[in-house]
Every structure is written in C-alpha cells, then in structure tokens.
C-alpha cells in the first residue's frame, strides 16, 4: 500500500475514533421562578479555565439542554445573569431529568455516578444534622453544669462522628472515579491545602480517580504550587512602580530579597508593615532588599498607604487586584503573603513573619 494512502486511512480512522469517544448528554426539566432565559452547561478544564459544553434558551421555565462528553465529568448548570448553579456528575450518553429551584426541593436525576453521589450526600447531610444537634445539646448541658449527662451525649457524639468518617471513607474507597477525585479536590480548595498536603491527598487517590477531570486538576495544582515551593527558582515578573517605571524582579540585587504581597485595604498587612520597616532599616545595608507587590486597584489608596507606613523599599503593582498575573505566578490566595529569596532568586523560605522572619534574615546575612 502506498504511504500517502496509508496516512489518509490512518487519519480517517483517528477521526472516527475521536467521534466514537464523544457522546451526547441531555438534561430535560423545569426552572422554578424564572420565566425565560438562557441555561449553560459548564465544566472546568483547568484551574483557571471553564468551558461551555452546551447551552439552550428556555421559555415558561421549561428546557432541554444538550451537550457532548468524552468522559464522565462534573458539570455546572447555570442560568445566565444569576449567581450560583447546580452540580451534576454527568456521564456520556445519559439523559437527566431535573427540577431547578433556589430551595431544597431541587433535583437532577439520572446516571449511576450522579445517583450514587446524591444518595451519599443525603446520608451525610442527615448525619451532619444529627451531629450539630448533639453538639448544641452537649454545650447546653455543660453550660447548665450537668456534666454526667453531657458526658453521655459526648459519647454519642463521638460515635456519630466516627460513623460519618467511616461511611465517607468507605464511599470514597468504593468510587475510584471522578467522585473521589472531586471530593478530595473540594477538600483541598476549602482548606487551601499547601503543596505537601495536596501531594499526600493526591497520593491517596486510586488509579481511576487520578485519570479523571478532577484528578488532573489536583495534579495541575501540585505542579503550580511546586513552582513556588522552597528551593524552586522564583518566577520572574515585571511590574510598574508608583512613578510608572517598570521593575523586573530578577534585576533587583540583594543577598536576601523579600517579596511581600500586600494591599492598602489589608489590615494584617498594615499591622505588619512597621516590623518590616524596622527589619529593612537594620539589614538593608547588609544586603536585604524588599519588593512590595500590592493587590490594590486604586493608585491613590496604594500611594497613601506607602507614605503613611513609610515603605521606602521598592513598591510595584499592576493595579489589577486579584487579576494580577503575578498573583497567579506565586499561587497567592491571601495577603499578607511573603517569599524570601537568595541572591540567585531561589526561594529559601515562605510565610515567615515577625521574629521568625528577623531571625531568618539575621542568620543568612550575618
């Protein structure tokens, strides 16, 4: 067979294979309280990107939304112009029935994964309600100094908590798929887990879960956090100072360099500034440099805070707030957030404050 013909056949086979792996899903139902509008089917493909898998316009609250999936995915149903949404464990080739409402009567029915997850959440919710009631009862008895009765309630509370942990662990063990990956990822985000904890939680996933949409998102998070972990080369950036002059981080010289993410509206940041100023005054001549990266969006507020707090070091900002690309580069999820670099721009410490920061700087400069 000629090579050109063979390549053409391979291309056709490849296309057929890709088409065969993609299946349509349909979601039919009613939206309570909204007469007409547009309904979107969304799914996260990366930590920063959400894709639209399909959409439909609806009238009189009724809709039929279709989309295509190549694998089971966690998707969101969202009405255009409204916040929030409805989560669905969607599987290729499945039709779902739904009733969307802003109260607890809403439902989305269909699919093995979705039904399994919904049943587990109903059981978990009932146990959590029982645990909350027992906690209130225990606190009331302690307050009334009924310590014997409180002890008995505490024993029951301990058993119910253990029961919930056991049920959750068994459920995750029995679902080496997107369910366990999504549950672990949600826990990671809720706790804003660091690199070590995220790695440990990812390692706890089964092979099947790691291959899913949210298994990939956890892996992406690990790769992102590793870029600013201790020992990594600090991501370079260029931002403008208060006078509009561009400053490139790697061009700033210093035996020890501190990158301090802060904002004029951040109370803890402002409270920490006097200690940072004192540290700078004491060690700047010995090789300490500080680059303050502000999350402000208002230049006047930023400048006033610099002047009032006496921040005489390098201060830069994109004035884009949380949309600043440098924030993403350093995986900053809250301020203040601080990174300590050596003279070669390697990250040698993170998160230090107060006496711990002073001790670290002194030991590395003296």
Q: What is the pLDDT of residue 351?
A: 84
Q: Considering only CA atoms, which of 88, 118, 84, 78 is closest in space to residue 25?
A: 88
Question: Which contacts (CB < 8 Å, 24+ apart) does range 112-119 have?
Answer: 113/72, 113/89, 113/177, 113/178, 113/179, 114/88, 114/89, 114/90, 116/175, 116/179, 117/89, 117/179
Q: What is the pLDDT of residue 359?
A: 96
The domains of the chain are located at 21-109, 114-226, 238-365
Which residue has 């309280």 as its token pair? 33
- Residue 32 φ/ψ region, left for φ over 0, alpha for ψ in the -120 to 50 degree band, beta for the rest: beta
CB 185 within 8 A of CB 217: yes
Q: Where are the alpha helices (DSSP H) in the chain?
A: 3-20, 112-143, 147-173, 178-191, 195-203, 207-210, 213-226, 267-283, 299-309, 325-329, 354-365
Domain 21-109 has CATH 1.10.3720.10: no
User: 238-365: what fold?
Assistant: Glutaredoxin (3.40.30)
Instruction: Tell whether pTM > 0.85.
Output: no
Residues 208-230 as b/e (b if ≥16 CB within 10 A, e otherwise) read ebbebbbbbbbeebbebbeebee
The span from the CA of 240 to the CA of 247, in Å, is 6
Q: What is the pLDDT of residue 84?
A: 86
Sign of CA dihedral 214, 218, 220, 224: positive
How does pLDDT run along the chain (366 residues), one tens digit per residue?
343 433 333 344 444 343 446 799 999 999 999 999 999 999 999 998 999 999 999 999 999 999 999 999 999 999 999 988 999 999 999 999 999 998 888 999 999 999 999 999 999 999 999 999 999 999 999 999 999 999 999 999 999 999 999 999 999 999 999 999 999 999 999 998 999 999 999 999 999 999 999 999 999 999 999 999 999 999 999 999 999 999 999 999 999 999 999 999 999 999 999 999 999 999 999 999 999 999 999 999 999 999 999 999 999 999 999 999 999 999 998 999 999 999 999 999 998 988 999 999 999 998
């Amino acid at each position: 067979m000629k090579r050109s013909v063979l390549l053409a056949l391979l291309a056709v086979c490849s296309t057929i294979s890709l088409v065969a792996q993609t299946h349509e899903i349909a979601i039919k139902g009613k939206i309570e309280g909204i007469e007409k509008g547009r309904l979107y089917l969304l799914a996260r493909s990366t930590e920063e990107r959400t894709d639209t898998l399909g959409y439909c316009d609806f009238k009189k609250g009724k809709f039929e939304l279709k989309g295509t999936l190549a694998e089971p995915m966690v998707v969101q149903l969202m009405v255009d112009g409204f916040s929030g949404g409805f989560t669905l464990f969607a599987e290729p080739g499945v039709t779902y029935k739904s009733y969307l409402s802003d109260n607890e009567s809403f439902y989305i029915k269909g699919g093995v994964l979705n039904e399994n997850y919904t049943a587990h959440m109903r059981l978990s919710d009932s146990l959590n309600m029982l645990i909350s009631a027992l906690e209130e009862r225990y606190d009331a008895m302690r307050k009334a100094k009924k310590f014997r009765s409180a002890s008995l309630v505490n024993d029951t509370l301990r058993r119910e908590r253990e029961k919930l942990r056991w049920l959750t662990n068994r459920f995750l063990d029995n679902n080496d798929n997107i369910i366990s990956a999504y549950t672990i990822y949600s826990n990671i985000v809720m706790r804003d887990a660091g690199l070590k904890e995220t790695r440990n939680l990812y390692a706890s996933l089964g092979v099947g879960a790691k291959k899913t949409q949210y298994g990939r998102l956890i892996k992406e998070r690990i790769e992102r956090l590793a870029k600013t972990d201790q020992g990594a080369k600090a991501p370079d950036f260029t931002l403008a100072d208060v006078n509009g002059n561009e400053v490139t981080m790697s061009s700033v010289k210093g035996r020890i360099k501190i990158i301090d993410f802060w904002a004029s509206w951040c109370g803890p940041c402002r409270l920490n500034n006097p200690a940072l100023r004192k540290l700078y005054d004491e060690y700047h001549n010995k090789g300490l440099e500080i680059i303050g990266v502000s999350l402000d969006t208002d230049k006047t507020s930023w400048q006033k805070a610099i002047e009032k707090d006496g921040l005489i070091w390098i201060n830069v900002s994109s004035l884009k707030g949380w949309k600043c690309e440098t924030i993403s580069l350093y995986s900053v999820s809250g301020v203040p957030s601080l990174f300590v670099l050596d003279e070669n721009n390697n990250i040698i410490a993170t998160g230090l404050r107060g006496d711990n920061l002073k001790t670290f700087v002194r030991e590395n400069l003296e």
